[in-house]
Structure 1
């Protein structure tokens, strides 16, 4: 599917009903447009089933609470709406986006307690997030921006406003011919990519940053479980910048990224090795089981 996301055939679930894709609009004075009061989920369906669907719906509701609003639908209602959207799309393999936000209402300043909370869900066809990087390994830049302290943002919410520096970092990386950028956190520890968690391999063991100031991804948790089932030791810890030189393999995880090998981060190079390929293949089998 090509072209503008605003100009497509199909239907989107919006505030309890299915509407035509091109009519899924909001007012210019929607609070979320001005103050980023929105949360969202990115999910993938494989063979007609959304992987870890309920966990995504639960996180959506929790993210809303973390930025101080309540979604006016239950988890079961959100689940039913996603299934309705997926069925209407006619797709077996699809990307599903649920988004909740503070809409237009009586408030049009920083405060927005009087404004309605709205919810929409759409689905579309989407291939590999990093293109052919699944075979060759993605090329990453290092972002100038750092993941902030938990004292400054609700870092465990999947909230739109927290992605501003991610967008800027990814644009800068793409301008250098890279697929994405790796970010450090406010202390200088390795954190994540702009929309994916990161893993490293050294001497047959796996190291991944402790998600104490960024999102603990659902795919990340799934992959850690897979590794432990394979009796592979996983170290969740703070990783220093100088350690990058000693790692042998690297991969990214995320709903969009799935499991994507990394070939380089700035001047550091990594092998797309056997463990990386095994985890990528095992994840693919799991989501399609």
Structure 2
């Protein structure tokens, strides 16, 4: 499947029914388009099974609650919609995108309580998010923007509005020949990439930022448990930017990114070492088991 995402063959689940891909549209006065009132999940299906599917559905509902936007579907109903899309399109390996948003209604200002909360599920076949970076290591820029304080927005929600600085930062990174960008948070601590959590290795131990101002990714949690099961010490802690020079290996985690090695952040270089490759291979086996 190629070309514009609005002009493809296939089926999309929308508000309780499967519709033709090209007919899955919303009105120009949809509240989410004007005020970013939407939350979403990105998931991957391997061999006919969506990895950590119910956890993603539960997080979608929680994100809606955090944005004062109750989603009118249960976990079981969301699960059924996801698998209906995969079956309708004949896919066993695909990326699945579930999105819920405030639609058009009686409100067209900041408030939107009178507008319905709608939901859609789309899927498409998608390869490696960072291309050949899985083999050679991604190159990251350092973003000029910072992840916001949880006092300014619910940072635990996977909300569309939180991604605007991600888009700008990734555009800036790509203009420099990089795959992605690394954010610091509002305090100046190392935070995450634009759509992935980050891990570092030093002296055989793993270090990763505390997710107190970033999304505690489902893949992140999976990798931490995997490392602990392997007997590897994991430090969830504050990481300062000046520490980057002392780390030996680095990788990103996320549903789209899976486990992607990092070879460079700014002027700092990292080896695509044995532990990084072992984690990537172990994750690949896990999601396909």
TM-score category (smaller protein): over 0.9
Structural mapping, 1:206-245, within 5 Å: 206-245=206-245
Once the two structures are superposed, the pairs formed by residues 85-100 of structure 1 within 5 Å of their partners are 85-100=85-100
Q: How does 1:196-215 map to 2 (within 5 A)?
A: 196-215=196-215
Gaps of 5+ in 1: none
> What is the Cα deviation at residue 92 of structure 1?
1.2
Query: Residues of 2 paired with 1:72 and 1:41: CA distance?
Result: 16
TM-score scaled by length of structure 2: 1.00
**2: CA distance, partners of 1:42 / 1:89:** 17
Q: Which residue pairs with 1:59 in the alignment?
A: 59
Q: Distance in 2 between matches of 1:242 and 1:64?
A: 37
How many Å apart are 1:174 and its aligned residue?
0.3
Distance 1:89 1:161 in 2: 30
Query: Take 2:153 and 2:142, find their aligned partners in 1: how far apart are those partners?
Result: 22
1:137-162 superposed Cα distances (whole Å, 9 cap, x missing partner): 00000000000111101100000000
Residue aligning to 2:116: 116
Q: Which runs of 5+ in 2 are unaligned?
A: none
SS of residue paired to 1:85: helix
Aligned CA RMSD, in angstroms, stands at: 0.4
Return structure 1 stretches of 4+ with deviation > 3 angstroms.
none
List per-residue Cα deviations over 1:88-143 (Å, max 9, x = no partner). 12111100000000000000000000000000001100000000000000000000
Q: Paired residue for 1:267?
A: 267
Q: 1-side partners of 2:168 and 2:285: how far apart?
A: 34
Secondary structure, counterpart of 1:58 in structure 2: helix
Counterpart position of 2:135: 135
TM-score between both structures, scaled by the size of structure 1: 1.00
What SS class does the counterpart of residue 82 from structure 1 fall into? Answer: helix
Aligned residues: 289
